[in-house]
Structure 1
Amino acid sequence: MKKRKNIADIRIFHCPTMVGGNPQGLSAAEKSLGLKSESVSLSRSYLGYKADRIVFRSGENIVFCEFRRWIEIFRVLCLADIIHFNFGETLAPSQYFSDNAKYDAFKIWIYNNLYARWFEFIDLKIARILGKVVTVTYQGDDARQGDFCEKNYPIHFCREVDGSYYSKKSDANKRRKIDVFAKYAHFIYTVNPDLLNVLPERAKFIPYASVSLEDWDIVKKNGHNQKEIHIVHAPSHRDVKGTKYIIQAFERLKREGYEFRYTLVEGMSNQDAKKIYETADLLVDQLLAGYYGGLAVELMALGKPVICYMRESDLHFMPEDMRKDMPIINATPDTIYDVLKDYLTTHKSDLDNIGMRGRAYVEKWHDPLKIAQTMYDDALSVMKRGYGV
């Protein structure tokens, strides 16, 4: 048995991204629970999520960036007891494959074959040798594969994006990386139910933990019956979110004389976008992916109703009670016009109630404190076996 570790001294690290703000939300929740936690991101996001440490400096030469990377790997391996990797990556250099013509194929080949392939996942492997508890959380296209989606999903954005978004190379690379984590990670989590179709059988669904219930408090409404409805859509990628179908529905309704206004939120920091979200009466999240995103959790936390395509065939991966509580208004590219029309007219008075149900749903299922405690308990179960804490 290894040397006994005092629970109060356990140090937790989240790295290497800030995708969706989920790693930072978990780290903040762990701190609120009295744990020693730190979020580390290799680079910044235009959305403005706050990490404890940003490794790369904007505009810095790649040689200096890589030097900083290795310093950070050494630091985390020395200090951490629990390492939560996210977005299917570690801090180590990672091979990259793309058919996108805007990337220099020769430079990618050099980076992959003369550098990344020799050190990929080295921090993950050393962490296990050193007795660290290691987990990974998958968050979407880090695991999602174009060939599987095209074969199994009649509605999916794989048919909307260009040919470089998914490719045989990128699909194979994702499967290879998943296999590595399957070998070395103590726990594998995903925030998207559909990913459990392509992850190891022992992978676990876990809800988004990106939204602070204190920072995203419910916004009081005065009722929708006597005012113009404000609908918001905030695509991070228009083809992925089905934006063209949403705009087509908006414009058709406008031409037919229905009274509402809509706002497209793009390229803004999360805090600036929040000011717009607070004025919204309804969010259209996405129509192709099959599950709601972190944005929907933010709007539900504010008490706003959400329209989103929910793929029934994947929802069995969620807890049954969570499925029953879910207040999402379902819509597809074929039905979005009718759904919007319905909630601008016949069911307009239902929007407040759906929004309140959304807030209750987030409090019950997306509370970062509860999710962080669950993941900590998982990690602690491993440490108890190894350290005798």
Structure 2
Amino acid sequence: MVAKGWRILHLPTEVGGNGYGLSRGERAHGLRSDVLVAFGSSFGFPADRTLYTGPSANRLVYWGRRLNLVREFLGLRDAYDVYHFNFATTLLDPHGTGNLADLPFYGRDSLKVFTFNGCDARQKYPTMRRCDYSACHQEDCYGGVCNDGKRDAHRARRIRKVDRYADLIFALNPDLFWTLPERTEFLPYTISTWDRLAERTPAASGPLHVVHAPSNRACKGSGAVIGVMERLARESGGRIRFTLVENISNDEALRIYARADLLIDQLYVGWYGAIAVEAMKMGVPVLSFIRDEDLRFIPTGMARDCRELFSPVTVDTLEPVLRTIFDTPGELRRTAGKALDYVHAWHDPAKVARTVLDRYEAAFAAKSGRQPYRSEGV
């Protein structure tokens, strides 16, 4: 049975609010679960402790912060039973530029758990060899930082080190399984705002409001989204309104999603992101490109429900898909209901945490040589 005395620490990034959402799910099961973020971002995702917000160009400040990270590490490396690292980073390697030097030195009897979130595992040229349509095919994706191939090699080295030291490895995106160790397990997104997001009340009248919120335009196919939506909005004679959401906090973005009738997530990556989960939790339908061949890596039931929920869409088919949606009375309302059912079935933090706690339990059992407790599920 899951030990109520476990101390769990999620660290050191806030990517998408996933660690905080999972932590609150673990707390719902009576566990002590904390979130430590080394460097916060402008998105403003919550944490129990955030050491610093944003970088500093001052070298003295930089080295002072590095020294303080070492002090933090020495103070916490034996303080928890589970260290759950996000975005393949550790406290002394929070930006992912080093070689996870501190990874071997967390408590000997503790669990070391990793969640890969996206481009911490995704590799450009293996992806391009495997398929002919992806974000990795876009030369300007995140400014082309992966184009020379060096990041592929760097990520592969880090994955090998994680595989050597980690007791458990999770991935949030199905496409990551092509480059991660075979023992990797799929983990649905959890979001930090789950408990405070209510189903929105659709406007009785007014234009249909479509929202797109790219973290990176090239990665998300935003050029196509903007072009199609601006054209459809002009043709609609005021029946369609389009909002591009960028460079604002998560709280500000959520207020815009709550007034949307449809959210377009991404058209290249092959899965949906945390913003899609946030939107679906509010009853906002989502369009997102789903790569069917990657669904082999997720639970069978989730793959079935995903295929039923998400309309097949790419850069080339976005416009006809949108025209069909807009010209079909009641389609957005029906899809909103299915999105709510889907998000509650697969992304409820308490349900996701139940699965993760069972995996912690099995990993502790493997360390001690005893048989793990088997949960009946939620």
Q: Which residue of 1 aligns with 2:324?
A: 342
Return the match for 1:17 from 13, 18, 30: 13
Q: Which residue of 2 aligns with 1:294?
A: 274
Query: Which amino acid in structure 2 is aligned with residue 202 of structure 1?
Result: R
Cα deviation, residue 142, structure 1:
0.2
Q: Which residue of 2 aligns with 1:39?
A: 35
Return the match for 1:139 from 111, 117, 122: 117
In structure 1, what is the Cα distance between the partners aligned to 2:145 and 2:364? 42
Q: 1:182 to 1:363 in 2, by over 3 A?
A: same
Cα deviation, residue 75, structure 1:
2.1
TM-score (norm 1): 0.87
Is the counterpart of residue 246 in structure 1 residue 242 in structure 2?
no
Secondary structure of 2:293 counterpart? helix
Q: 1:202 to 1:96 in 2, by over 3 A?
A: closer
Return the match for 1:312 from 286, 292, 299: 292
Question: Which residues of structure 1 form unaligned runs of 5+?
Answer: 98-115
Report the more deviating stretch, 244-253 or 191-200: 244-253
Q: Which residue of 2 aligns with 1:92?
A: 92
Secondary structure of 1:42 counterpart? strand
Aligned Cα root-mean-square deviation (Å): 2.1
Cα deviation, residue 323, structure 1:
1.6
In structure 2, what is the Cα distance between the partners aligned to 1:169 and 1:76? 33
Is the counterpart of residue 331 in structure 1 residue 310 in structure 2?
no
Say how many residue pairs are matched: 360
Q: Which residue of 2 aligns with 1:167?
A: 148
Cα deviation, residue 95, structure 1:
8.2
Q: Which residue of 1 aligns with 2:80?
A: 80
Q: Which residue of 1 aligns with 2:349?
A: 368
Q: Which residue of 2 aligns with 1:66?
A: 66
Query: Which amino acid in structure 2 is aligned with residue 195 of structure 1?
Result: L
Return the match for 1:351 from 315, 318, 332: 332
Q: 1:348 to 1:235 in 2, by over 3 A?
A: farther
Counterpart contact for 1:56–1:68, Cα < 8 Å: no
Query: Which amino acid in structure 1 is aligned with residue 125 of structure 2?
Result: D
Q: 1:94 to 1:281 in 2, by over 3 A?
A: closer
Q: 1:234 to 1:256 in 2, by over 3 A?
A: same
Identity %: 34
Question: Which residues of structure 2 form unaligned runs of 5+?
Answer: 373-378
In structure 2, what is the Cα distance between the partners aligned to 1:277 and 1:199? 33
Cα deviation, residue 211, structure 1:
4.9
Q: Which residue of 1 aligns with 2:101?
A: 122
In structure 1, what is the Cα distance between the partners aligned to 2:241 and 2:228? 12
Deviations 1:64-119 (Å, cap 9, x if unpaired)?
1101111121122120110101101111237866xxxxxxxxxxxxxxxxxx5xxx
Return the match for 1:150 from 128, 135, 142: 128
Deviations 1:324-355 (Å, cap 9, x if unpaired)?
2221233100001111111111x241111111
Q: 1:122 to 1:351 in 2, by over 3 A?
A: same
Q: 1:135 to 1:262 in 2, by over 3 A?
A: same
In structure 2, what is the Cα distance between the partners aligned to 1:228 and 1:75? 55
Report the more deviating stretch, 58-67 or 268-277: 58-67
Report the more deviating stretch, 357-366 or 375-384: 375-384
